[in-house]
Amino acid sequence: MGQAIVVGLIVLAAAIYVAWALLPAGLRLRLARRLAALAQRAGGPAWLVRFADAAEGSALRRLGGCSKCSAVQAAPTPPKGREKT
C-alpha cells in the first residue's frame, strides 16, 4: 500500500513537471505570478514563498524575449557636429 502511494506521488510530480515545461511561456509566467501572490498572503509558509519566487524566475528566464535585438533598441543618434544629408 505504501509503495503504491510513493509511486503515485512520483508519477504526479512527473506529470506536473511535464505540464509546466510544455505550457506556453506567457501562461507559465501568469501561473507563476498567481502562485507567488497566493504564497505571499499572510500566513504563507516560507518554503512556499521561496518555491513561488523560483518558479517565477524560471518562467521569466524561459520567456525568451528579444530585449537585445535591434528591433527593440532605439535607433542610434548621429554624432553631434555632423550635418544630416
- In order, the DSSP letters of 45-65 are -HHHHHHHHHHHHHHHHTT--
Structural domain total, the chain: 1
Residues in the chain: 85
Does residue 19 fall inside a structural domain? no
Does residue 84 fall inside a structural domain? no
Does residue 38 fall inside a structural domain? yes
Q: Give residue-wise pLDDT tens across range 44-57.
A: 788 877 888 888 87
Does residue 12 fall inside a structural domain? no
Rounded mean pLDDT of the chain? 78
Does residue 34 fall inside a structural domain? yes
CA–CA dist 53, 47 (Å, integer):
10
Does residue 71 fall inside a structural domain? no
pTM: 0.54
Q: What is the extent of the structural domain holding 32?
A: 24-63
User: Above 80 in pLDDT, residue 62?
Assistant: no
Does residue 32 fall inside a structural domain? yes
Q: Look at residues 60, 65, 13, 64 and name the one whose alpha carbon lies nearest to residue 32.
A: 60
Q: Quick one: cell of 71? A: 528591433
Does residue 85 fall inside a structural domain? no
